[in-house]
Structure 1
Amino acid sequence: MDSARIVVVGCGYVGLTTGACLARLGHDVTCGDVDGEKISRLRRGEVDLREPGLGELLAEGVAAGRLRFTEDSAQPVTGAEFVFLCLPTPRGVEGEADLSAVDSVVGDIRALLPPGAVVVAKSTVPVGTARRLARSLAREDVAVVSNPEFLREGRAVEDFLHPDRIVVGADDQRAAERVAGLYASVQARAELVDSVSAEVVKYASNGYLATKLSYVNDLAELCEHTGADVEAVTEGMKRDHRVAPSFLSAGPGWGGSCLPKDTAALLHTAASHGVEMPLLRAAIRANGHHQARVADKVVECCGGDVSGARVGLLGLTFKAHTGDLRDSPALAVARLLAERGAQLRGYDPACAERVAVEGVRCVADPRLAAENADVLVLLTDWPEFAELDWEQVAAVIRTPVLVDARNQVDPREVARAGFAWRGTGRSLR
């Protein structure tokens, strides 16, 4: 496909990655956002997101004249062939996705869209949204297409340019083919389906991944009580071609900006159609259980009471290689400990000392988190934690005990430094 004129509405995580990558694919892209300060920073080449390769792509697109930024998303729409909606859809009070931002933008651009334009829902939206937006636009000459994103934080650029699949959903086959054509230079199969199926694919994928993670943590708990090693178990599982090797790491539960929100939205959609989905409900309950199990281990290591105890936290973000604290399992564990009276100090490579985390004093060095601590808890799988000088850490900690919720460090190495190590899915015998 030749270069297309594209407007991306929303310069958040999905929008900025989408805009920069579409420009890399040769398209003419204008990214708009109502946050004027953000637009000013982007024009200066400043990227707030911790995402490998994104800053370079942005600079490349701007230098080539294929990427620009504006505070006025509406005006560029008048000349656009495609308008990508990359807007926040946060979780509502009952688990439903809040589409107020999407609806507002659609109302703003309805009369400005040129004939033949295609509106592309890139954000994760409830099932049936594409058809509802088409009714809201009331423009027979404008198509609405669902093109869900499957971007992992910390690997978003890689996932966009080298995806497993591209899902395009529309009731208008020609519109679906046009959107798929935007990705013509990407080496991935384009799955053309109806819009409702495309919307379900996104939720179904995240619901499955959440269930898989809860299952692995269930196995880890079983391993602790039977004498098995969860890492040996999962390695054996990975050898089976029917079991995909990803999302088989035990830990302190799952979180982030997608899985909690999307599982809640999927349950809300199911309930609205009289479908129970008991397996997904159990996976969500299990997740809370496993977060509480980590907190319980810390309490046990403090003699059964953490009131007044000093607890050091290694890792605050929901996973490594991102600065995202949203629905972080590390913070869920921290809240449980704070409720029991623990004094918390935390370090995370992506969080500056000035970052405000309720109940946690953020520090600039892992040794400061460990200083005079009664127990140290590793909660996020940052590679640098595996490389810590544990003898230096042992020199400043009050009680050399490490609860390794991610099995991130070599227990023999920390044992040589004098630590008692307690992992996840390792034998209690």
Structure 2
Amino acid sequence: MEKPLQPQTHAIRGQMDRTQYREHATPLFLTSSFTFDSAEAMAETFAGERAGIIYSRYNNPSVDELVAKACALEGTEAGFATASGMAAVFASLAALVKQGDHIVATRALFGSTHQLLTNILPKWGVTFTYVEPEQPETWAAAVQENTVLFVTETPSNPGLKLVDLAAAGKLCKAHGLLFVVDNCFATPVLQRPADYGADLITHSATKWMDGQGRVLGGLLLGTQEVMDKVIAFCRHTGPAMSPFNAWVISKSLETLHVRMAAHCQSALAMAHWLGEQVAVTQVHYPFLESHPQHDLARRQMTAGGGIVTFELAGGIAAAQRLLNAVQLCTLSSNLGDTRTILTHPATTTHSKLTPEERASVGISDGLIRMSVGLEALVDIQGDLLRGLG
């Protein structure tokens, strides 16, 4: 029996069958729908009795290739590609809950995910309880009779708090919960939640998976049983990724492993350098020994990721002074790019949270989120000194 391809090889070689033109690179299928040879063939395809593609809201060859590659990387059975990362996060919740259900979620979540839990799902009679990501011993107490999901994000955006995936997997198995993980910051290169029992994994493919700030996209990857429900929800509600975006991201996956290795190497060096700057009061990075969950990071991640966050004394004024001083670094709410990006979460991505909510997830007024790019590190350090000196 032939050995299966390694994930990074599959990301490069796992392309769809070539067409009659024998192209080397995968072609782009920019079409909204597909044709049939007969009325009978059309009816049988709609009935699921014959293999075929019906409509690009359901699936498309370009999108299918991306999903197959992503499943190989994450070690999952099935997937669906959405128009954005938040479309994937929303579908991961809405497809799996009903009125009267309860969700347990770790508190350190992306701002829009927090909005889904606090302002949108409650309209449908779905409740939630937050637990602290660093305190797995407290999680079981939050589980109720009507709890159906355990939702987490690790490392978290932007506080870089970690969730013990092994502990979460055991909790979900013991209580019969579906285990949902946002794996955007780590990517499957650094950790694979499915190895710890995750039923469903979400990604903002806009970030590291594209890696060059070009297109939006999201991914839902999981077990066949769970994905059957998610795919049915997505096909009828319409958050499908465009074929063009899927084609772009699929090509980007071919370099994901080498890009993430370079991002992580530079991010660790940047974290050490930032710790030496007088204006910086604290640096957060999972592979720094000073990170309170450093041992956990080393257990479940192969590297620390491409995000570094750091604290400046002086709050918002100091943060804005830095952002206004830099000339190379980009100011953007995005991350996961070849170009280094700076963000001030308190006034941008997490500005809709109350000061108390921000404080509870480690977002101070002086916190800067840095997505470390692929430029020469010395150039970015010199740029930062414009505002740190």
Bin the TM-score by the shorter chain: 0.3 to 0.5
| Higher RCO, 1 vs 2 (CA within 8 Å, ≥6 residues apart) | 2
Larger radius of gyration between Structure 1 and Structure 2: 1
TM-score by length of 1: 0.31
